[in-house]
Structure 1
Amino acid sequence: MARSLVDVLTTHASQQPERTAYRYLLTGDCDGEIQELSYGQLARRSRAVAAWLQERGLAGSRAMLLYPPGLEFVSAFLGCLAAGVVAVPGVPPQGRAHNHRALVRTKRLLADADARVILGGREVIDVLGALTHDLPELDAITRVATEDIPDDAADSWRAPDLTADSVAFLQYTSGSTSAPRGVMVTHGNLLDNERIITERMGHTPETIAEYGHEMFVSWLPVYHDMGLIGPVLNTIHLGVTATLFSPLHFLQQPLRWPAAVSRYRPHTSGGPNFAYELCLKHATPGVLDALDLSSWKVAFNGAEPVRAATLRRFTETFGAAGFRRAAFYPCYGLAEATLMVTGGSVDAPATLLEADESGPHAGAADAAAVGCGRPATDVTVVIADPERQEELPEGETGEIWVSGASVAKGYWRNAVATRETFRAKLPGHEGRFLRTGDLGFLRDGELFVTGRLKDLIVIDGRNHYPQDLELSAELSHPALRPGCTAAFSVDGGVDGEQPVVVAEVAPEAAGEAETIADRVRSAIGEAHGLSVREIVLVHPGTIPKTSSGKIQRRATRAAYHESTLSPVGAPAAP
């Protein structure tokens, strides 16, 4: 029985050394330059990196991984695992002009992880050499471009003594509501979550054979849990082939994604809700005519609120290219549970609860709650009252608690936060639970996620979820960018808490600022019975987001209070 993904890779490299593990579209285009890595090559490259680490006595220490998009990251990550070194995926610097926020994050991660070595691409390592003035701690850390480690180094590799409880890597959380923390993901956690992904997404041996081992297309960043543990590591777990390309190439031309799905015809591909919206904005009849999405069986949608409107519009638009409504696969997960917790049923449409069933949405079908599926075997999901820490009956909204072998070991060097988050007890249940900090309810065994516990907006004693207000705002005017709105409350003095909405809008729409603000105000008033204190329309890309693209509402609120937002107009308050 495999103890780790290192054992799994060794088996695949022995049994099918010539099979392509990954192909990488260097330009993001199917007809551009392509790099491929077979299972035999991947095993040798990862062992070469592992041997380099072992020879320097780094087993048991932490290695920061700073790579541009590409396959070298995968070899380095697996190399760390094969050396018994704890991998720490990070966001690579973008050059001398690397922005201040990213520098601060890198500095914090290096210190928190106590990294002894930095693995990266040649260009990244060169950039780091120029950043020692801003990051003097770099001088004390070994840095190596792993492309310079020869394949022959693999000959001295020694299999590490790994157990299920050995820490494989630190997944630093995105920090959408707090400072990032390093989640200790063990080898046992990884194997169990790969089992869950395989089970819930229908990656059976029969399906793999039907698809000729072509199972994934992904542009998702590999330094994040969704992109890494889903498409990249499930590929190793299954012994199949994945087609990857850069997140930047996707953002530059979103339709490269469905084009790659059409070309390679994978079973599974997905991303956050905003990615589907970006594809919709660029879809034209001519483009649709050239696509064939009929083989796309699992179009997973997670990491941020899943919008019923997005599911409907994407199906209507890309149905012309063969996309099926039943392919949409809403799911829920978080780094503290390694990745996946719940997922939909393959070949079944997503569950939608209309407004009268799921909350005060004024009968708008596009604002229906979207089910995120059911937990896999041996995963327990309960809804608890966060104050009384008691289980709530089905249908009632509370905090989502999770238990199972995928729940991580805790937070790196943070015993207090580990105890608060990973050690919850629940009457009537054995063992410990992970408190996710997310709100939701269960209906017929399916999970519906409604928001973040700490982001709740309480006005006149009534709870409002910020994403509900954000959705109402975004649907009110086409100039508002999908997934780029932040709603939060501020102290209105004698008037109590009052909502504020900050929304990104195209600069050319600045002349319509007053009209857009009126539309937003009316939509929120009608749907939620709220009077918005202020609506701030800002330039694209200026609302703070986590590295995974989640809106940072607290940071946006702080920028609002500090008057550091970048407004395109100043609509008058009512």
Structure 2
Amino acid sequence: MTETSGPAPLLTDRLRHWATHRAHRPAVTHVAFPGPDSSGVHSTLSWHGLDARARAVAGRLRQTVRPGDRVALLLPQGLGYPASFLGCLYAGVIAVPLFTPDLAGHGGRLAGVLDDCEPAHVLTDGPSREAVERATGGRLPVTEVDALAEGPPASELPRPAPDDVAYLQYTSGSTRSPAGVMITHANVVANARQAVTAFGAAPGRTTTVGWLPLFHDMGLVLSVAAPVHAGFGSVLLDPVAFLESPVRWLRLLGRYPGAVSAAPNFAYDYCAGRIGADEAAGLRLEGVAALLNGSEPVRPATLDRFLAAFGPAGLAAEALCPAYGLAEATVLVTADRRDRPPVTVECDAEALAAGRVEERPGGTARLAACGRPAGQEVRVADPESGTVLGEGRVGEIQVRGPNVAAGYWKQSGRPAGTFREGWLRTGDLGALHGGGLLVTGRLKDLIVVDGRNHHPQDVEETVRSAVAVVRRDRLAAFGVPHGDDGGEGLVVVAEVRRGTRVDGERTRESLARARAAVAARHGARLADLVLVGAGAVPRTSSGKVARAACRAGYLSGALRGEEL
């Protein structure tokens, strides 16, 4: 698409353009798996069809709500979701991407978000309507988007201002109660453009293939906003379909040349651990262009395992792209280059604990380089004083750019604690190294034992490696009050593999092994290791370990191994 003079085009401008110039080309495809042996049932909307359905949603909303009202999307993953989201943008209302009430374990979060955003209307589909009305108490008007007739022409719909809020991206709650990040029309267009540039995506040679839920920031931008901005196709599968059989995702990646996708670190470990040699042998991944690894700290060991498992299927090392982002920056902040394999920095563990990145070949602390800023500025600063730190110094990552959000919904005082002199304070820790970014963890998750800093994901990996019965990426390390001097004790809660029987003797043996490994690698004493049953470690709606919730459960006595 040729840029024109004047204001930067909104997503709805892009959608209207592709509906005219690529009317019958595939825009979005949903792949359903009705049974365990299904190869997938594909349903597709063309650009014209996607635009028509979005306009139908907009037409309905224009009859029932006012510009600026919130509209909650309580929809399953499918064709109706992007159409509903874009319909909200067409109508000039504020979309609130959420999930259906049957998402296990997140009913409380859904109720809290609905209470916070106070929607004037709910969009759902026919099969979900009854559950939605129960969840909302019948208090809100509900529209079934799959039953709408044709909407008005795009020329009759309002065009929002770039600085108007387009949607509220509710955070997953891994470190605090969910909060609605206000993403403007200009923010989402800027980040879509940044993502497209970072991955070299273009119509005719790129297709995004995603299972991340569309209420998740990475899922929404990579599977909806970026494709609509640049005019390439998007393929969706349900997160449950991925969790049931992760090979489905990889098969779809191989089916679409130039495939681009994204997932948190745990998903790559999950694939390497769950997909057997026979299934892997049938994969053809030489056409995969980029697999973004982000949303939680990227572990070099995971990159190694994933490439070892699927490199023989043609996956190029250069396709693995460690990245960093957060909802307050719409999503993407940095991404590694695609012309080289991922870069791992081996560091001196003692120096890293003291806040310095010092390369040392064979060092026990390994960090994945998360690339350079994608069309924005990144710096590292002391979280207390705000002093900007130089290369190789660990501090709080701060971001400035056109993709940085305006603040939090109904929390006018919150930006003062989140922004400093125009820079977004991310709450994440990292260091600049070689012109790129190394991410070391969350500021709120940092564990201080005897005056030394420990990042929870490093301790979790040490314990998982030392204790064979522990499930990968089902651990939470955190600090608890210890002694009378205000210090912290180091605790790990870990799920054991399904079907594993753990008695008192085995627990004692596991604790001894874990303590020895933590002492050897981190120079710290592990105060407690709690082994719990599969599914007991709290997780956010996007699948990340919720360490704060786990700590609260431990302190309250709810996580004491009773589930075994």
Normalising by the smaller structure, the TM-score range is over 0.9
Equivalent AA in structure 2 for residue 359 of structure 1? L
Rate the CA distance shift 1:548–1:569 in 2: closer, same or farther, 3 A. closer
- The aligned counterpart of 1:428 is none
1:75 maps to which of 74, 77, 83:
83
- The aligned counterpart of 1:9 is 15
Post-superposition shift, 1:260? 1.1
CA distance in 1: counterparts of 2:517 and 2:562, whole angstroms: 21
Cα deviation digits, residues 195-229 of structure 1 (max 9, x gap): 110111122x4xx44x3xx4211111111101111
Cα deviation digits, residues 2-57 of structure 1 (max 9, x gap): 43100000000000100001111111888332100100000000000001101224
Q: What SS class does the counterpart of residue 482 from structure 1 fall into? A: strand
Q: Any conservation in 1 of the 2:330–2:405 contact (CA below 8 Å)? A: yes
Post-superposition shift, 1:473? 1.2
The farther-off stretch of 120-129 and 483-492 is 120-129
Total equivalences in the alignment = 546
Q: What SS class does the counterpart of residue 515 from structure 1 fall into? A: helix
1:117 aligns with 2:121: yes
Rate the CA distance shift 1:527–1:362 in 2: closer, same or farther, 3 A. farther
Rate the CA distance shift 1:569–1:69 in 2: closer, same or farther, 3 A. closer
Q: Any conservation in 2 of the 1:486–1:551 contact (CA below 8 Å)? A: yes
CA distance in 2: counterparts of 1:127 and 1:365, whole angstroms: 53
- The aligned counterpart of 1:198 is 196
Rate the CA distance shift 1:191–1:274 in 2: closer, same or farther, 3 A. same
**RMSD of equivalent CA atoms:** 2.1
Cα deviation digits, residues 250-293 of structure 1 (max 9, x gap): 00011111111122233312201111111111232221221111
Post-superposition shift, 1:366? 7.7
Structure 2 unaligned residues grouped into runs of 5+: 354-358
- The aligned counterpart of 2:212 is 220
Equivalent AA in structure 1 for residue 352 of structure 2? G
Cα deviation digits, residues 101-125 of structure 1 (max 9, x gap): 5232222211211210011112222
1:400-549 alignment runs, 5 A limit: 400-422=397-419, 424-425=420-421, 432-494=422-484, 496-511=487-502, 512-549=506-543
Equivalent AA in structure 2 for residue 530 of structure 1? A
1:306 maps to which of 283, 288, 298:
298
Q: Any conservation in 2 of the 1:51–1:156 contact (CA below 8 Å)? A: no
Percent of aligned positions that are identical? 39
CA distance in 1: counterparts of 2:140 and 2:332, whole angstroms: 34
- The aligned counterpart of 2:145 is 146
Equivalent AA in structure 2 for residue 25 of structure 1? V
- The aligned counterpart of 1:88 is 96
CA distance in 1: counterparts of 2:468 and 2:347, whole angstroms: 22
Q: Any conservation in 2 of the 1:47–1:157 contact (CA below 8 Å)? A: no
Q: Any conservation in 2 of the 1:5–1:236 contact (CA below 8 Å)? A: yes
Q: Any conservation in 1 of the 2:293–2:322 contact (CA below 8 Å)? A: yes
Structure 1 unaligned residues grouped into runs of 5+: 426-431
1:281 aligns with 2:279: no
1:48-447 alignment runs, 5 A limit: 48-94=56-102, 102-131=106-135, 135=136, 138-150=137-149, 152-155=150-153, 158-203=156-201, 205=202, 208-209=203-204, 211=205, 214-356=206-348, 359=352, 367-377=365-375, 379-422=376-419, 424-425=420-421, 432-447=422-437
Q: What SS class does the counterpart of residue 9 from structure 2 fall into? A: coil
CA distance in 2: counterparts of 1:437 and 1:359, whole angstroms: 18
Post-superposition shift, 1:569? 8.1
Q: Any conservation in 1 of the 2:29–2:42 contact (CA below 8 Å)? A: yes
- The aligned counterpart of 1:429 is none
1:553 aligns with 2:547: yes
Cα deviation digits, residues 69-117 of structure 1 (max 9, x gap): 11111110000000001000112111xxx76x52322222112112100
Q: Any conservation in 1 of the 2:77–2:236 contact (CA below 8 Å)? A: no
Q: What SS class does the counterpart of residue 526 from structure 2 fall into? A: coil
Post-superposition shift, 1:566? 5.9
Post-superposition shift, 1:507? 3.9
Rate the CA distance shift 1:40–1:30 in 2: closer, same or farther, 3 A. farther
CA distance in 2: counterparts of 1:545 and 1:366, whole angstroms: 28
Post-superposition shift, 1:236? 0.9
